[in-house]
Structures are given as structure tokens and as C-alpha cells.
Amino acid sequence: MDSWIARMENALAVLALRLDDPPSLEELACAANVSPFHFHRIWRAMTGETVARTIARLRIASAQQRLAEPDASVTSVAMEAGFGTSQSFARAFRRVAGMSPTEFMSNGTGRITVATALEAPFRIELRERGELVTLRKEGGAYRELNELFWRLWTWAEGADKLDGLQGIYGIPLDDPVSVDEHRLRYDACLAFTDPGTPTPAFGRITLPAGDYATLRHRGSYDGLEASNQRAIERVLASGRDPADFPLFHHFLDDPEEVAPEVLRTDILIRLVPVESRPC
């Protein structure tokens, strides 16, 4: 975990220098030497919060230092911190520090620090190459995806591909806790022995052969995001790096035939070979 802490501290240093103009996801991921596909979830695993929440904390931490100076006032510090009014500053300050700016000036408080997550075990499996046909949804929460998968299934049936079906997959391309709902992207996927050339509405991707961290989620799909985060935490504890490839789900049961509480979904994260590094 020491290695991961150092890498996240690199990203934190970049972020701290640009609180008024926060760096992009790609810049932060490069500073941490990790794939952008996984940065948000790794950040949450290491700090217990989103990047946006960290920015808010750092702004308040800076304001704390300013409030401790003899000539400081709540209004002047609020303006310096980029808040439109002292009232909005006070609300943000209380959310982060647990007290108002005035109370802080009277009582003081300790410096806000970044927490780290605990280690957790996980398993690694070697998977063969897979060929997927995909259909993307852009915008909207990762819910009510049946229609998306049904459109993909209908295409496969019409193209006479179902005899070669090897698996049903889903790829949540963004972290829904860190990315605005209207910007979320999701790929519904079917794996085939021979996917052929799908029509323009559909795409194709390859799941490369190699090592994958695997965590089996049991239960409703509503709980998948919490399991996604646990999978990332276990990768961090393993000493291996996630590759520049999105986390994806392998759906093992038919939800029309299996009760939600016993559904099985494998969460898979492709790993960088031990002799390589991203970025």
C-alpha cells in the first residue's frame, strides 16, 4: 500500500497546486501512473471520497490556515477561497470541518488529512481472449438497461449469431459517484466465437488475454457499484496495477430465471503485466 499512497500523493500534489483550475482526469491519472479508466475508483478507495470532495476539503483546509491569521475575517477568506458569499462558504466549511468558520476561529481544529483504505485479499485468474459486440448508452444512470441488452440480443438473433454466444457482459465506463449522470457511458456486450462485422450502430472490442483480478458479486445488480469499489481496493492491496482497460462485468445468470438475491456477476479488472507500467 505504501506504493499506492505515494502515487496518490503525486496526484494530490498536482491537484493542490490547481484548486482554482482543477486538472483533468487524464492529468491526475498520469500523475498517479494509473489508467484513467480506474483513477476515480482508486482515488475513492484510497481517500474515502471523490476528487470533487477532496477539492472542497483542500479549499477549506487552505481557508483554515487563512482564518488562523490575525487579520482574517470570514468574508475576506470566503472571497479568497472562491465562494460567492460568506453564507455559502460557512455551509461548505461546516460540511467539511464540522463547525462554522467563526467557531473555528474561536476554538481551532486539527489539520484535515487524507485517509487510506485497508488491505483486502482477492484472486487473480488467467483469461483467454474474447471478442465482443457492443451497444453503447450515453447519459443516464446505470439502471434499467434491459432495453439496451434487448436491442443487442435482437441484432444477434437476426444475424444468426446466438449459436456462437460465449457470454453476456456489461462495461460501466465511468465511476457514477464521480461523474455527472448525464455524462455516464455504458456498453452492453455479447461475446461470440465469430462476431463478424456488426452494423454501424454496434461496435466491437477485444478482451485481451491475460491476468484479471476477479471478484464475484452475489445479489441484485443494484449493489454492483459497491462491489466494483471493493474490487478496486483489493487490486490496490495486491501490489498489481490495473491496466488501461475498463472494469467490466460478466453476467453469469439470467435475471428472468434467477431471483435477484442469488444472481452472480463476476467483476473483472485487467491487470498490467508485472514488468510493465501504465502512463
pLDDT tens for each residue of the chain, 279 residues long: 567 777 888 888 888 778 778 899 999 999 888 999 999 998 888 887 888 888 877 777 777 777 777 777 778 877 777 777 777 777 777 776 667 777 776 765 444 433 333 333 357 888 889 999 999 999 999 988 999 999 999 999 999 998 889 999 999 999 999 999 999 999 999 999 888 888 888 999 999 999 999 998 888 898 899 899 989 988 887 878 899 999 999 999 888 888 888 888 999 999 998 665 555
131 and 211 fall within a common domain: yes
The residue among 51, 80, 107 that closes a domain is: 107
Residue 35 maps to a domain: yes
Region of 68 (left: φ > 0; alpha: ψ -120 to 50; beta: rest) is: alpha
Residue 118 maps to a domain: no
List the grid coordinates of 270.
485487467
What is the DSSP-derived secondary structure letter of residue 195?
-
Run of H or E residues at 207: strand 203-207
Name, in order, each residue with C-beta under 8 angstroms of 163's C-beta and a sequence gap of 6 or more: none
Give bridge partners of residue 137 from the DSSP assignment: 186
pLDDT of residue 275: 64
Run of H or E residues at 165: strand 165-172
90 and 139 fall within a common domain: no
pLDDT of residue 207: 92
99 and 157 fall within a common domain: no
How far is 32 from 9, CA to CA, in rounded Å?
8
87 and 156 fall within a common domain: no
What is the DSSP-derived secondary structure letter of residue 127?
E
pLDDT of residue 1: 58
CB atoms within 10 A of CB 193: 11
155 and 245 fall within a common domain: yes
Residue-by-residue DSSP string for 221-279: GGGHHHHHHHHHHHHHHHTPPBPSS--EEEE-S-TTTS-GGG-EEEEEEEB--TT----
How many domains does the structure of the chain reveal?
2
In terms of residue numbers, what domain contains 220?
Answer: 123-270
Per-residue burial over 262-277, b if 16 or more Cβ lie within 10 Å, else e, is: ebebbbbbbbbeeeee
The residue among 58, 75, 107 that closes a domain is: 107
pLDDT of residue 2: 64
pLDDT of residue 171: 96
Give bridge partners of residue 134 from the DSSP assignment: 189, 203
pLDDT of residue 125: 84
140 and 222 fall within a common domain: yes
Amino acid at 117: A
Residue 253 maps to a domain: yes
Residue closest to 271 by CA, chosen among 187, 215, 226, 188:
215
The residue among 63, 80, 107 that closes a domain is: 107
Name, in order, each residue with C-beta under 8 angstroms of 129's C-beta and a sequence gap of 6 or more: 206, 207, 208, 209
| Residue whose grid cell is 462554522 | 100
